[in-house]
């Protein structure tokens, strides 16, 4: 009798043996997700403090804190599920792309308005276009806003935005303390009915993250050969477009490594692909991707995009099937 | 005791036979799906022809009555068309074509006069305020365009997506909507666009200028809509290209149904069309913004998703079209998953129905979008949550029917890395 479980185990196909997903869920949650949101909460706290200390658009302390906190957001920005989606938090932290120019309009209104800026609850009710890092970027780096309205009013807008970013980052980090259990202990009462569904969420974060970096971060400024769109590069005013590509790839490499840990062949090819793409990004030396407007520069950005698409192909056709996970739907579906 | 036993056995048998419902063939499910597409596009065509007649009457004899009839015909035409949107994302032939008839959002200043608050050209779009109705000749990407006569060709081939910008929408339902209603300048207040019929009166009584060119534009855009719908309806007939593509591979065909349902539910409708507008609190960030018809637009999108799953559509003349369905296919594999799907689709329709009934009672969609309007936010988020939740179950069906790997093959950029350079 006692030998039966052992025999059964032997009879199980190898793939099924390899599909114990619990450890991966734990590892990604503990080592990839939680530290990122803890770091974001910390950095946005410092950003808020910097704006309190000195709020001039060109204050070095404020600008440094802006860059540091924005880095930490980009490194976590692929994790768009659960706590980031409650109360539109992630949308309010980073509204981009802004295809219809809502952000400058919203900021003009905020500068002109003289109420509600010192009330975080009221500010949280305003349009996402006037909140978050991309609104802050225009306040700090767009000459149009350096001269709009009174300095005192601009300062109030900057402080309202940094306070709001920190509030959302804190709320996300706090909710993740309990959501960690939701993700790692799927079941009938959880939004994730099984390990497979929880793992699919992480897999989607990886594939959608790569898709966003390829199609949006690079694809928008690339435009077409005849009509490149350098002005559509992400956060170009503060010179961060390429940096976002690199930061996102570094974060996604870490996630990919954790998801592929049981499959060394796939892990190796993913790691090689990420290293290639990250190295290429580092060598571009084109912080705002202005090169898309020249034939030579364009070719180099396209080559980087192709390497990211190669990674997407490995993720979709090798990693997904091996983990037994389907692609699912993401927010980039549709137009 | 015997009686009880018999009754119990009968019940058991009943449950057993229900649980073992025979799976319909995938070919039959796809046939129903294609038949419904054919009926929906044919209905859209019929309704567009009625709109065309009404538009011709407006142009021939502008009056409040003819303008209102044209508006009513436009609203009616949206009912079958919105139900076709579920066919977009799974069927390349539809997706490649769709931008011509239902592109949104649009920079309407491309077409006609706009209010001063609209502004001029933007960073994103140099032609946002081109106003082709007022300009018989203009520069476009270094070329001089002769627009002295506004023809379907000018709109479809030169002006639509001019300069490679999607917001340059020169054709389709929303261009026609703008020409019938004009801008909605009421902000979050009550009321839709209020273009006067005199915008179409020829001679001295003309308002807004260039009434002859405006009439030409409206007529050309409506003719183009009819011919575009004619083309798509033909693709779904027996022997049509859309039907043939769908039937090439049965698993891929069933995956296409689910891809269409999931992509429309989540990324497109819940995200782009509903949640984004709410987060921006912009009164014109709504799908049918000139006519204030967004509640219907969302409702019939949702209905299209539901009736494709159930394999049952009622035509605009009342004729039912139904047959073997995706629902039947799921029942045969996992009846409880079908129950879950049906319940979630029904929940979404209730939520979208609440938006519709509230809007029809006078609380318009653009009023719901106002910052701090808790009632409006709850209504819209009800729809968003329903759509997001049903997407989860659509994903479960993809897994249960083991269509996982088919789905991956649908992506252009993954199949053919060079496609992104084209």
Report the b/e string of A25-38 with b at 16+ CB within 10 A.
beebbeebbbebbb
Q: Which of the listed residues A159, A184, A209 is the one where a domain comes to its end?
A: A184
Residue B332's closest CA among B32, B31, B26, B24? B24
| Coarse DSSP helix, strand, coil percentages of chain A, rounded to the nearest 5 percent | 75, 0, 25
Q: Cβ–Cβ of A312/B122 closer than 8 Å?
A: no
Say which range, A103-117, B126-140, B326-340, has the weakest mean pLDDT: A103-117
For chains A and B, CB pairs below 8 A equal 118
Does residue A172 sit within a domain? yes
A42 min Cα distance to partner chain B (Å): 26
Secondary structure class of A217 (helix, strand, coil):
helix
Task: Give B88-106 as a DSSP string.
Answer: TTT-HHHHHHHHHHH--S-
The domain that holds A275 is classified in CATH as 1.20.120
Domain match, A124 and A221 both: no
Angle, helices B326-333 vs B294-310, to 10°: value is 50
Average pLDDT over residues B77-104: 96
**Residue A38 and residue A158 share a domain:** yes
- On whether any CB of chain A is under 8 Å from the CB of B141, the answer is yes
Q: What is the mean pLDDT of chain B?
A: 90
Residues A48 and A65 both lie in one domain: yes
CB contacts, 8 Å: B399 with chain A: 196, 326
Residues A131 and A229 occupy one common structural domain: no
Peptide bond into A97 cis (omega under 30): yes
Mutation test of the interface with chain A: which of B270, B289, B413, choosing the one with the most A Cβ atoms within 10 A?
B413
Q: Give the closest-approach CA distance of B333 to chain A in angstroms.
A: 18
CB-based contact A309 B280, cutoff 8 Å: no
| Min distance B167 CA to chain A CA atoms (Å) | 9
A234 within 8 A of A281, measured Cβ to Cβ = no
Name the 3-class secondary structure at A131.
coil
Minimum distance, in Å, between the CA of residue A1 and any CA atom of chain B:
34
Contact B417 A313 (CB under 8 A): yes
B16 has pLDDT over 50: no
With beta carbons less than 8 A apart as the criterion, state whether A110 and A117 touch: yes
Answer yes or no: is A318 within a domain. Answer: yes
* CATH number for A97: 1.20.1420.20
**In sequence order, what DSSP letters do the residues of B54-87 get, joined into one string?**
HHHHHHHS-SHHHHHHHHHHHHHHHHHHHHHGGG
Closest to B253 in 3D by CA, of B79, B28, B57: B28
Spatial separation of the C-alpha atoms in residues B358 and B378, rounded to whole Å: 12
Residue A200 is assigned to a structural domain of this protein: yes
Contacts of A126 in chain B (CB under 8 A): 281, 371
Q: Would the pLDDT of A334 be above 80?
A: no
Q: How many helices (H) and strands (E) does chain B have?
A: 17, 4
**Which of A129, A197, A227 lies nearest to residue B280, judging by beta carbons?**
A129
| Local structure of residue B290 (DSSP, 8 states) | T
Alpha helix stretches (DSSP H) within A212-240 = 219-222
Residues A227 and A137 in one domain: no
Pick among B251, B273, B408, B419 to test the A interface (most A CBs inside 10 A): B408
Q: Do A88 and B124 touch (CB under 8 A)?
A: no
Among candidates A127, A309, A332 on the partner chain, residue whose Cβ is nearest the Cβ of B281:
A127
Interface of B with A in 363-382 (CB under 8 A): 371-372
- Which of B:166-205 have CB within 8 Å of A? 166-167
The CA-CA-CA angle for residues B247, B249, B252, to 5°, reads: 105
Q: Which of B412, B411, B407 is nearest to B422 (CA)?
A: B412
Structure tokens that stand for B56 in this block = 């011709």
In this complex, which of B266, B282, B408 lies closest to A333 when CB atoms are compared? Answer: B266
Cis bond before residue A200 (omega within 30° of 0):
no
Any idea of the CA torsion for B246, B252, B258, B263, to the nearest 10 degrees? -90
Residue B320: φ, ψ to 5°: -80, 145
B406 part of contact set with chain A, CB < 8 Å: no
pLDDT of residue B404: 72
| Separation in Å, CA of A220 to nearest CA in chain B | 11
Question: How many CA atoms within 13 Å lie on the side-chain side of B406?
Answer: 20
Q: Are residues A168 and A201 in the same domain?
A: no
Residues A47 and A159 in one domain: yes
Are B414 and A312 in contact (CB < 8 Å)? yes
Taking residues A122-133, report their average pLDDT: 95
* Closest by Cβ to B267, choosing from A101, A232, A334: A334
Six token digits for residue B337: 């998953």
Q: Is the pLDDT of residue A47 over 60?
A: yes
Same-domain check for residues A124 and A225: no
Cβ neighbours of A335 in B, within 8 Å: 166, 268, 272
- Could you say which of A143, A160, A184 is where a domain stops? A184
Q: What is the pLDDT of residue A149?
A: 86
Instruction: Sort out which chain A residues have CB atoms less than 8 A from B398's CB and list them.
Output: 326, 328
* B207 cis-preceded (ω within 30 degrees of 0): no
8 Å CB contact between A333 and A212: no
Closest CA to A268 of A227, A225, A318, A304: A318
Count of the separate structural domains present in chain A: 2
Q: In this structure, are residues A229 and A222 in contact, taking their beta carbons and an 8 Å threshold?
A: yes
Using CA atoms, how far residue B69 sits from A3, A218, B54, B288, in Å, is 81, 47, 6, 18
A8 belongs to a structural domain: no
Residues A262, A317: one domain?
Answer: yes
Identify whether A6 is part of a domain. Answer: no
A335 assigned to some structural domain? no
Under an 8 A CB cutoff, do B394 and A125 touch?
Answer: no
B89 Cβ under 8 Å from any chain A Cβ: yes
Q: Last residue of a domain, which of A132, A166, A184?
A: A184
A2 lies in some domain: no
Give the residue-averaged pLDDT of B342-369: 97
Six-digit token string for B108: 């309407």
pLDDT over 50 at A268, yes or no: yes
Report chain B residues whose CB lies below 8 A from the CB of A217.
none
Residue B327 has pLDDT above 70, yes or no: yes
Per-residue pLDDT tens over the stretch B99-130? 999 999 899 999 999 998 888 887 788 899 99
Q: Chain A: nearest CA to B251, how far in angstroms?
A: 15
Alpha helix segments (H runs only) across B322-403: 326-333, 335-360, 365-368, 374-400
Question: At residue B30, what are phi and psi to the nearest 5 degrees?
Answer: -70, -35
| Chain B residue numbers touching A200 (CB-CB < 8 A) | 395
Q: Is B126 on the interface with A (CB under 8 A)?
A: no
Cα separation, A108 vs B2, whole angstroms? 82
Cα→Cα distances A174→A79, A170, A178, A184, A255, Å = 15, 6, 8, 17, 21
Residue A114 vs residue A270, higher pLDDT: A270
Give the total residue count for chain B.
422
> Using CB atoms and an 8 Å cut-off, which of residues 207-226 of chain B contact chain A?
none
Tokens 């939680």, residue located:
A34
Query: Chain centroid to CA B106: how far?
Result: 15
Contacts for B273 with CB less than 8 Å, ≥ 6 apart = B287, B298
Check residue A146 and give its pLDDT. 83
Smallest Cβ–Cβ distance between A224 and the set B164, B267, B417 belongs to: B164
Of A193, A196, A302, the CB nearest to B421: A302
Contact A101 B141 (CB under 8 A): no
Mean pLDDT value of segment A97-120 = 88
Pair A105, A46 in one domain: yes
Q: How far apart are CA B114 and CA B108, in angstroms?
A: 8
Contact A209, A252 (CB under 8 A): yes
Q: What per-residue confidence (pLDDT) applies to A335? A: 66
The CA-atom distances, in angstroms, between B210 and each of A294, B113, B134 are 42, 10, 6
pLDDT of residue B389: 95
* Same domain? A97 vs A66: yes
Question: B235-281 pLDDT, tens per residue?
Answer: 999 999 999 999 999 999 999 999 999 999 998 999 989 999 999 98
> Which tokens is B167 given?
């917001």
Nearest residue to B263 (alpha-carbon basis) of B399, B89, B94, B85: B89
pLDDT of residue A19: 64
Beta carbons of A334 and B399 less than 8 Å apart:
no
Distant-in-sequence, close-in-space partners of B62: CB < 8 Å, separation ≥ 6: B197, B198, B199, B200, B201
**Taking the CA atoms of chain A, what radius of gyration do you get in angstroms?**
22
What is the pTM assigned to this prediction?
A: 0.89
In this prediction, residue A3 has a pLDDT band, given cuts at 50, 70 and 90, of: very low
Residue numbers of the domain that contains A66: 27-184
Q: Minimal Cα–Cα distance from A170 to chain B, Å?
A: 20
Q: Is the dihedral of CA A277, A278, A284, A289 positive or negative?
A: positive
Do residues A202 and A143 both lie within one domain? no
Q: Across the interface, do A128 and B279 touch by the CB < 8 Å criterion? A: yes
Considering only residues B284 and B255, tell me which one the structure prediction assigns the higher pLDDT. B255
Beta bridge partners of B144: B139
Strands B312-314 and B143-146, sheet pairing? unpaired
Q: What is this model's ipTM?
A: 0.86
Is residue A4, in this structure, part of any structural domain at all? no
């Amino acid at each position: 009798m006692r030998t039966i479980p052992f025999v059964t185990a032997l009879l199980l196909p190898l793939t099924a043996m390899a599909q114990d997903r619990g450890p991966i869920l734990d590892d990604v949650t503990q080592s990839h997700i939680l530290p990122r949101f803890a770091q974001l909460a910390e950095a946005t706290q410092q950003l808020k403090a910097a704006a309190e200390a000195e709020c001039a658009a060109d204050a070095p302390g404020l600008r440094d804190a802006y860059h540091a906190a924005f880095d930490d957001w980009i490194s976590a920005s692929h994790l768009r599920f659960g706590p980031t989606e409650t109360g539109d938090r992630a949308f309010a932290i980073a509204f981009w792309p802004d295809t219809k120019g809502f952000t400058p309009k919203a900021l003009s209104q905020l500068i002109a308005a003289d109420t509600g800026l010192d009330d975080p609850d009221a500010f949280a009710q305003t349009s996402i276009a006037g909140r978050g890092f991309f609104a802050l970027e225009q306040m700090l780096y767009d000459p149009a806003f350096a001269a709009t309205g009174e300095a005192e009013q601009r300062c109030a807008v900057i402080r309202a935005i940094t306070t709001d970013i920190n509030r959302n980052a804190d709320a996300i980090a706090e909710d993740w303390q309990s959501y960690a259990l939701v993700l790692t202990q799927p079941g009938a009462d959880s939004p994730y009915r099984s390990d497979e569904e929880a793992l699919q969420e992480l897999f989607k974060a990886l594939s959608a993250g790569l898709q966003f970096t390829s199609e949006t971060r690079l694809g928008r400024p690339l435009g077409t050969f005849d009509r490149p769109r350098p002005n559509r590069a992400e956060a170009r005013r503060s010179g961060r477009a390429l940096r976002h590509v690199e930061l996102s790839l570094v974060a996604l490499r870490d996630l990919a490594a954790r998801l592929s840990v049981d499959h060394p062949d796939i892990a190796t090819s993913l790691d090689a692909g990420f290293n290639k793409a990250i190295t290429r990004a580092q060598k571009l030396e084109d912080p705002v991707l202005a090169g898309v407007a020249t034939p030579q520069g364009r070719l180099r950005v396209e080559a980087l995009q192709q390497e990211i698409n190669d990674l997407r192909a490995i993720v979709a056709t090798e990693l997904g099937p091996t983990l037994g996970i389907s692609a699912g739907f993401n927010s980039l579906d549709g137009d | 005791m015997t009686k009880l036993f018999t009754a119990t056995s009968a019940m058991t048998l009943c449950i057993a036979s229900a649980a073992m419902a025979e799976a319909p063939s995938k070919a039959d499910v796809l046939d129903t799906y294609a038949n419904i597409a054919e009926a929906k596009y044919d209905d859209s065509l019929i309704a567009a022809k009625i709109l065309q007649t009404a538009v011709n009457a407006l142009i021939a004899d502008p009056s409040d009555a003819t303008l209102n009839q044209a508006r009513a015909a436009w609203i009616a035409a949206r009912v079958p068309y919105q139900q076709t949107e579920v066919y977009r994302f799974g069927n390349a032939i539809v997706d490649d074509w769709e931008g011509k008839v239902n592109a949104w959002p649009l920079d309407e200043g491309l077409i006609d006069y706009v209010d001063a608050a609209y502004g001029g050209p933007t960073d994103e779009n140099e032609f946002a305020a081109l106003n082709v109705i007022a300009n018989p000749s203009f520069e476009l990407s270094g070329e001089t365009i002769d627009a002295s006569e506004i023809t379907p060709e000018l709109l479809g081939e030169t002006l639509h997506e001019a300069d490679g910008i999607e917001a340059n929408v020169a054709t389709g339902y929303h261009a026609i909507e703008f020409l019938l209603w004009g801008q909605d300048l009421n902000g979050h207040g009550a009321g839709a666009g209020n273009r006067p019929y005199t915008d179409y009166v020829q001679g001295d009584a003309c308002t807004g200028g260039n009434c002859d060119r405006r009439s030409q534009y409206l007529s050309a855009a409506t003719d183009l809509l009819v011919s575009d719908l004619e083309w798509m309806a033909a693709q779904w007939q027996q022997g049509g290209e859309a039907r043939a593509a769908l039937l090439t591979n049965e698993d891929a065909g069933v995956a296409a149904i689910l891809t269409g349902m999931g992509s429309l539910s989540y990324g497109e409708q819940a995200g782009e069309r509903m949640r984004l507008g709410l987060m921006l609190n912009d009164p014109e960030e709504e799908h049918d913004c000139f006519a204030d018809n967004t509640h219907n637009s969302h409702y019939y999108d949702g209905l299209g998703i539901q009736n494709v799953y159930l394999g049952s559509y009622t035509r605009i003349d009342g004729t039912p079209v139904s047959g073997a369905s995706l629902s039947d296919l799921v029942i045969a594999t996992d009846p409880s998953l079908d129950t879950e799907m049906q319940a979630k689709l029904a929940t979404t329709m209730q939520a979208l129905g609440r938006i519709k009934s509230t809007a029809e009672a006078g609380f318009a969609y653009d009023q719901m979008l106002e910052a701090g309007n808790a009632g409006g936010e709850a209504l819209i988020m009800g729809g968003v949550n329903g759509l997001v939740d049903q997407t989860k179950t659509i994903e479960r069906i993809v897994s249960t029917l083991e269509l996982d790997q088919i789905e991956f093959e649908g992506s252009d950029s993954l199949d053919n890395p060079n496609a992104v350079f084209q």
